[in-house]
């Protein structure tokens, strides 16, 4: 059959890889949006406070854990209460409205993986849409290609947004800081009283290693 001949020539390999990448993107989206981002639980408070004193010695020792005014748990350093999720989240980065979930200590690496896969899918889709366009200055051409043209423009917009978000996230990770810490540096006690701009920074390689591994 024609399908079998196409498979033998390898013509179905690229569409198959594209479909698998799209499926992987959907699965990562569901995983990141449904998983626990690192909610602070009362029984974990003591262990986390001891761990922080070892991992982050560059922060002034007189900074004490504060009790959250909403859920009444003691917040570990770098945790923040999310009004949308109604929980304190460890190593809080931001609340993503597209995911309807926070990005925090547990799902942040998977969030980066999701953005990376999504970027590949968008770039590939943009290339396919562009290759199908041939431009003519006529109304008939516009009528027959309007859907493809709009699709390409939407892909360009989404690709730009995802690319900028991924670049900014990788930059912050390389400095071992979070979006919340970067945006609210002047309001966070352990950053406001620190002499260093990025007190958790231990070098790009070690920061990336600890984050992803």
Instruction: Look at the pTM and tell me if it is higher than 0.85.
Output: no
Could you tell me the CA-to-CA distances from 12 to 21, 40, 88 in Å, in that order? 14, 47, 47
- 71 catalytically annotated: no
- What is the chain's length? 213
124 inside domain? yes
**Boundaries of domain holding 168:** 2-37+97-212
In a domain, 71, yes or no: no
Residue 180 included in any domain: yes
Number of domains in the chain: 1
Does any domain span residue 59?
Answer: no
| Torsion sign, CA atoms 198, 201, 205, 208 | negative
Q: Is residue 72 part of a domain?
A: no
Residue 74, in any domain of the structure = no
Residue 169 lies in a domain: yes
Over the stretch 28-83, which tens digit does the pLDDT of each residue have? 999 999 999 999 987 665 455 444 444 454 555 555 667 888 888 888 889 999 99
pLDDT in tens, 134-152: 666 666 666 777 787 888 8
State the catalytic residue, choosing from 82, 96, 175, 213.
96
User: Residue 29 domain-assigned?
Assistant: yes
């Amino acid at each position: 059959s024609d399908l079998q001949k196409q498979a033998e020539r390898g013509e179905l390999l690229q569409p198959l890889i594209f479909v698998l990448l799209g499926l992987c993107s959907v699965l990562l989206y569901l995983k990141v949006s449904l998983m626990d981002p690192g909610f602070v639980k009362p029984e974990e408070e003591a262990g986390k406070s001891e761990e922080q004193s070892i991992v982050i010695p560059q922060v002034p020792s007189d900074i004490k854990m504060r009790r959250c005014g909403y859920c009444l748990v003691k917040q570990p350093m770098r945790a923040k209460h999310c009004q949308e999720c109604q929980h304190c989240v460890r190593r809080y980065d931001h609340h993503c409205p597209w995911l309807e979930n926070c990005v925090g200590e547990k799902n942040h690496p998977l969030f980066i993986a999701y953005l990376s896969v999504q970027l590949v899918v968008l770039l590939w889709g943009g290339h396919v849409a562009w290759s199908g366009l041939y431009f003519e200055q006529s109304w008939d051409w516009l009528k027959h290609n309007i859907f493809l043209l709009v699709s390409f423009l939407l892909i360009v917009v989404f690709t730009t947004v995802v690319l900028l978000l991924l670049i900014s996230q990788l930059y912050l990770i390389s400095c071992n800081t979070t979006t919340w810490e970067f945006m609210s540096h002047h309001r966070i006690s352990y950053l406001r009283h620190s002499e260093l701009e990025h007190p958790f920074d231990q070098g790009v390689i070690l920061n990336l290693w600890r984050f992803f591994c």
